[in-house]
Structure 1
Amino acid sequence: MKLPNTAHTSRPWRIHEITPDFRLYDVWALPTPGGPDDFPRLIRQTTGGDTANNPSWVARTLFAIRWKLGKLLGWDNPDSGVGSRVPTLRDRLPADLRDGPSGPEFDRLPFTSVYLTDNEWASEMGNRTCHGVMHLSWVPDGAGGYRGQMAVLVKPNGVFGKAYMAAIGPFRHLIVYPPLMRGIEREWRAGTPQDSPPTA
């Protein structure tokens, strides 16, 4: 379920102090009901995902087209990513987060972990279009349990990046995210990994 931005901005997440120049694009309640100690399970499910696992064939096709375009146009070349075109957000971390765990690595998705706490985890990706952050958190669900919450923050790369993010917005909201959420729920119940959305 899509949430208002205040569901993310009203909470005292550490990500706020690290990404003041990023725009919050989406906040989603994840269909991952659990207890107070289930956040590591959500992280494992996320790092094991792949865009090829999206339940929607339309979304899978869009992702496949995006990767092919990226390869053809050089959007995803190594010199366009984190550590090359843009510095990693780990360079911005305060000492306590920098000295703590960064989080696990992804099996297939083009993200790199930035930091991990008991109830939030940030990972980043970069290409010619943008520098993006996927922020996962573990929040009370209002009924005595907990659930995951995902926020997507993006710093577009110039005019092209802003135009690109505006163009893909309807596809993300209408085609990619709804089946993705159903897939996350199904895999959460089954206990197996599901894909996570690249920001761009």
Structure 2
Amino acid sequence: MRISETAHTCRSWRIHEIAHDFRVEDVWALPTPGGPDDFARLVRQTATLNESTLRSPSARALFAIRHRLGALFGLDDPDSGVGARVPTLRDRLPADLRDAQAGPDFETPSFTPVYLTDDEWAAELANRTVHTVLHLGWVPDGAGGYRGQMAVLVKPNGLFGTAYMAAIAPFRHLVVYPALMHAIAQRWRDEPRP
């Protein structure tokens, strides 16, 4: 379920001090009910998600189109990524986060972990259109349990990046995110707790 931006901004996440120049694009309450110690499970499951885990043919088709366009126009060339076009957010980390484990690597090489705490994980991606942060948090659900919360923060690359984000917004909200939420919920139900 998509939720208000303030559900992310009102919390004292560490990401606020690190990505203060990024805008909050989307915030989602994740279908991952659990207890106080289940955040590591969410992080592990998220790191293994990719397009092939999405059951929606429409979502998979959109990813395929995006990959083809990215190759055609050089949107994802190595010189446009983290450490090339933009510095990594790890360079902004305070010592306690820089010295700690960043979290698991993604199975697909798109996102790079930035930092991991007991209730927060951030990963970043950059290309010719945006520098983006995927932020996961573990929050009380109001009923005595916990659930995941996902925020997507972006820093568009100029007018082209801003136009790109506006153009893909309907596809993200109507096709990609619903398929992703379904995949997250199914994996959460199907994989046993450790």
Q: TM-score range by the shorter chain?
A: over 0.9
Match of 1:159 in 2: 159
SS at match of 2:131: strand
Match of 1:102 in 2: 102
Within 5 A, what are the aligned runs for 1:20-35? 20-35=20-35
Match of 1:66 in 2: 66
Structure 1 counterpart of 2:168, one-letter code: I
Q: Verify: 1:140 aligned to 2:140, yes or no.
A: yes
Instruction: State the shift of 1:40 in Å.
Output: 0.6
Match of 1:48 in 2: 48
Aligned-residue identity in percent: 68
Structure 1 counterpart of 2:74, one-letter code: G
Q: In the aligned structure 2, how far is the partner of 1:110 from the partner of 1:176?
A: 16
Q: In the aligned structure 2, how far is the partner of 1:109 from the partner of 1:91?
A: 20
Structure 2 counterpart of 1:165, one-letter code: M
Instruction: State the shift of 1:179 in Å.
Output: 2.2
Contact 1:137–1:148 (CA under 8 A) maintained in structure 2 = yes
Match of 1:184 in 2: 184
Match of 1:84 in 2: 84
Runs of 4 or more above 4 Å deviation: none
Instruction: State the shift of 1:191 in Å.
Output: 1.0
Match of 2:37 in 1: 37
Normalization by structure 1: what TM-score? 0.94
Q: Which moved more, 1:173-182 or 1:147-156?
A: 173-182
Contact 1:25–1:151 (CA under 8 A) maintained in structure 2 = yes
Q: In the aligned structure 1, how far is the partner of 2:186 from the partner of 2:73?
A: 35
* Number of residue pairs the alignment of both structures matches: 192
Q: In the aligned structure 2, how far is the partner of 1:109 from the partner of 1:83?
A: 14
Q: In the aligned structure 2, how far is the partner of 1:60 from the partner of 1:53?
A: 9
In the TM superposition, what whole-angstrom CA distance separates every residue of 1:53-112 from its partner, at most 9, and x where no partner exists?
212111110000001111111110111100000000000011111111111101115000
Q: Verify: 1:118 aligned to 2:118, yes or no.
A: yes
In the TM superposition, what whole-angstrom CA distance separates every residue of 1:156-191 from its partner, at most 9, and x where no partner exists?
000000000000001100111112212211111001
Unmatched runs of 5 consecutive residues or more in structure 1: 193-200
Contact 1:53–1:60 (CA under 8 A) maintained in structure 2 = no
In the TM superposition, what whole-angstrom CA distance separates every residue of 1:10-69 from its partner, at most 9, and x where no partner exists?
000000001111010000000001111110100110111111221211111000000111
Q: In the aligned structure 2, how far is the partner of 1:27 from the partner of 1:109?
A: 23
Q: Which moved more, 1:139-148 or 1:45-54?
A: 45-54
